[in-house]
Amino acid sequence: MRAKTAVVLGAQWGDEGKGKIVDVLSERFSAVARYAGGHNAGHTVIIGGQRFVLQLIPCGVLRPGCKGVIGNGVVLDPIAFLKEVAKLRDLGVDVDGQLKVSNRAQVILPYHRMIELAAESAPGRKKIGTTSRGIGPAYEDKMARSGLRVVDLLHPELLKTHIEAACAEKNAIAHALFGTDPLDPAKMFDEYAAAAEQVRPFVADTGRILNGILRDGGSVMFEGAQGTMLDIDHGTYPYVTSSSATAGGAATGTGVGPTAIGTVISVTKAYVTRVGGGPFPTEIQDAMGDHIRTRGNEYGAVTGRPRRCGWLDIPLLRYSNQVNGAEWLVITKMDVMDELAEIPVCVGYEIDGKVTDEIPADVQGLEAVKPRYTTLKGWRQSTEGITEFEKLPAAAQEYLRFQERESGARIGMVSTGPDRDQTMVLPEFAAVLKEIHA
């Protein structure tokens, strides 16, 4: 009997279109749980032409009756959270009835943003390309055991003591290292004590809730943020995020045991993108990169930053599937490739004259990679909105089957447009979903 759970995550550097896929799949899940990251992640969902951009809140809340859970592995900015809640309320989404926040999640406070922004802007410092929203410093405090958790946010005296002590330390550090003006702890306390009362109704032991759903026969989807190659352990360090974006993070980030994880679904575009700094072996440096960026509308959902675009990288995808134990692939933005006569695909690397398909662990190694390409035939006709595999052009079918053969995971879904309805589900994958929901 297959476990009634699935992890949906990004195969590369994020922005693979996970939001839409989670939304499509969440129709029959009892809950969707976010397990890592903060409001630096943006998931865009389009339903009947209406656009929803979610940053902290799991996509499941867009489905009536589906619980949304922000797990303990997430770092929560209370002000950003409340703004997102207000937007969803205005759009008629029942966030108050469907959404819960872990009492064990860490809290982002203004001094986290101050430290990150100052460090990222400091002369001579290596720029990682962060969103400067305080995510990294909040995780640093978590690991230093000096962070504030959501459960602590709800106790005013504890909150006041914590902010006063933290501001004394962080103000001194920021001023000494970066010349930054100090933050006012009294003002910060007033703002966050007021925010805490609005957050309070959402707070719960979400691990208990999720395990209860599974015990009672319900199903849970775990929603990843960013992507595998941004994982703190397995990604292109140091150009990574500060949390566990891979499938293993689903257990540590929610309090559901690893033996309860049933299926891992990896989302990849028909090409690859990356935002910010860091190595990108198959990046397209000419006008074709601009063409793909324009056709794919490759700009960050949260920051608006233009994404770097590149050809599909099979060694990278194979590595990602290995790290995550991915059984299924979901291919998004297939229609972006419709106009190309030929499509290069990276099938191996050459490093210092030696051929390999191993992913170097160091940045210098990745930057030294010379991709080895094979060229597949394009289809030169529209695939937008096609929802049956057999109706795709023959060359488009072969492009998908090539990815399947080379990556070690089977293709379960293909997205042929941004809307919820522009999605095909292959029969074998439909059978697996049916088993999860049985």
Active site residues: 15, 43
User: Considering only CA atoms, which of 426, 431, 406 is closest in space to residue 416?
Assistant: 426
Structural Rg of the chain based on CA atoms: 22
Count Cβ neighbours within 10 Å for each residue of 80-115 and write b for 16 or more, e otherwise: bbeebbebbeeeebebeebbbbbbbbbbbbbbbbbb
Quick check: 106 and 142 in contact, CB under 8 A? yes
**What's the rounded Cα separation, in Å, for the pair 170 and 182?**
8
**What's the rounded Cα separation, in Å, for the pair 226 and 36?**
9
The token pair at 18 is: 């996970």
Across the strands, what pairs with 289? none
Q: What residue has token string 């689903």?
A: 250
Pairing of strands 308-310, 50-54: unpaired
